[in-house]
Amino acid sequence: MDFTFPPEDDTFRHHARAWLDAHPPDRSGRDWERTLGEGGWIGLGWGDTPYGNRHATLTQQIVWAEEYARTQNTPPRPGHIGENLLAPTLLTHGTPAQKARFLPGIARGETIWCQGYSEPGAGSDLAAVRTKATRDPATGTYRLTGQKIWTSHAHEADWCFVLARTEPGSQRHHGLSLLLVPMDQPDGRVEVRPIRQLTGTSEFNEVFFDGARAHPDHLVGGEGNGWRVAMDLLAVERGVSTLVQQIGFEAELEEVIRRSSEADPLLRDRLVRQWAELRTMRWNALRTLGGRGDDPAAPSVAKLLWGGWHQRLGELAMAVRGAAGTVGPYDWSEERPYELDPLQRLFLFSRADTVYGGSDEIQRTIIAERVLGLPKEARGQ
């Protein structure tokens, strides 16, 4: 397979780089999201639809993502969940009215979304979802009750796409539906509580639904079809989107290498191995891009590869730093009680890489059962 980019993509790359140079990201996440929308850089992969911005080929989408990832000091993008997860789901499973209602706001960078999947006791085991959505027979409105956890950007999101159980008494992957739920609701129907992590930051949140309402027109894929819709969405999340993620990994690896000029031979060997594994992940992601999209193992293999790799990079960063890695960059003070340098933050945050987004154990089970045809794991009653 040819992993090179066609010559016309060089022009596209030059244009993307020039725009990024002319628009330094010195603004908040929401403002930056709107700037990207005004520039036409959101929704490049939505094909020939009236909802996105400029059309770009698959390789041009990669070119843009690479140039963006290499730009310094870009703020975290709260809009990436709507653009890269919800939008492809609506394009596949949404009604024309849903597409017209929600996609333009994402493309303009005006509407921020979060993902209501994981729950306490149902993190990697998504089929164990217990959040309920009961339909009012008079109005058709759904009332949601339950809790979600590890919800990225929930504290600033306008909407949440929620996997909930709409069939009373249903179990596992039966009776689930995907609902689009507004976060701004009266009387405490939606409560968001930030989760403070080892890094001292709070990117993730708990979300509590206490009678939260969802309009019947905002049911995606039909009632009871939530599992199929959710699996299609997770294939996007865990699959070839990791190609862009690897650009950030490359920058982190370069920083570790820069700090390791005096590393002993054993550390140098680990650095070379880390570099080689990153290149292998890139070729695997490009191979997946060129495939037909029917490889059931591809998303799980990608998650296993990058989760373990990134966690090992964090451990390697601390090994390179040695004893200095145990000491913060500033003396303790009330104003700065918990400070970390980038490599310390990398080490602590990457401890979760093999858990969130589907734990390694779940990914291996998927490969064993759906690809290798091994007997399904026995489940307790």
Query: Which active-site residues does the annotation give?
Result: 237
As a whole number of angstroms, the distance between CA 379 and CA 377 comes to 6
Would you report the helix, strand and coil content of the chain in percent, each value rounded to 5? 45, 15, 40
**CA-based radius of gyration for the chain:** 22
* DSSP-based three-state secondary structure for 191: strand
Contacts 24+ apart (CB under 8 A), 366-369: 366/296, 366/297, 366/300, 367/297, 367/300, 367/301
In whole angstroms, what separates CA 280 from the centre of its chain?
21
Q: Do 79 and 42 touch, CB atoms closer than 8 A?
A: yes
- Residue 205 class from Cβ within 10 Å (0-12 exposed, 13-18 middle, 19+ buried)? buried
Residues 6+ apart with CB under 8 A from 279: none
Q: Do 311 and 355 touch, CB atoms closer than 8 A?
A: no
Residue 315: both structure tokens together: 């451990």
Q: Do 96 and 51 touch, CB atoms closer than 8 A?
A: no
As a whole number of angstroms, the distance between CA 77 and CA 65 comes to 12
As a whole number of angstroms, the distance between CA 204 and CA 207 comes to 10
Q: Do 67 and 24 touch, CB atoms closer than 8 A?
A: no
As a whole number of angstroms, the distance between CA 122 and CA 154 comes to 18
As a whole number of angstroms, the distance between CA 87 and CA 220 comes to 12
